[in-house]
Amino acid sequence: GAGVSQTPSNKVTEKGKYVELRCDPISGHTALYWYRQSLGQGPEFLIYFQGTGAADDSGLPNDRFFAVRPEGSVSTLKIQRTERGDSAVYLCASSNSGAGDTQYFGPGTRLTVL
């Protein structure tokens, strides 16, 4: 079956602009995660959804970052007033449900803020 997909694969924007990054999880997976990965570093947790609700958003760096999952499947990560420091690969993962489930990652969206 299809894996986790993310669009766009690359996004270049200018400082101060607004961007949206999309994640399509594996069908039927109730849990969805967003991570950010900088060059040479491991993925950094941003937010976790269980169904439509954000069960844990403790990783969001500030109020410029926001994510939604209105129907419990597709999720959108929204970044307002982008800064050069936001440049990174944004990864999405989904898992079936419950604690300790394997997370399946998408290929990521490479965001570059000029």
Positions touching other proteins (CB under 8 A) are: 4, 31, 33, 35, 40-45, 47-48, 50, 55-59, 91, 93, 95, 98-108
User: In terms of CB distance, is 12 or 15 closer to other proteins?
Assistant: 12
Cis peptide before 8, with omega less than 30 degrees from 0? yes
User: In terms of CB distance, is 18 or 95 closer to other proteins?
Assistant: 95
User: In terms of CB distance, is 15 or 54 closer to other proteins?
Assistant: 54
CA distances from 47 to 15, 19, 36, 61, 85 (A): 23, 17, 10, 10, 18
Cβ 111 vs Cβ 86: under 8 Å: yes
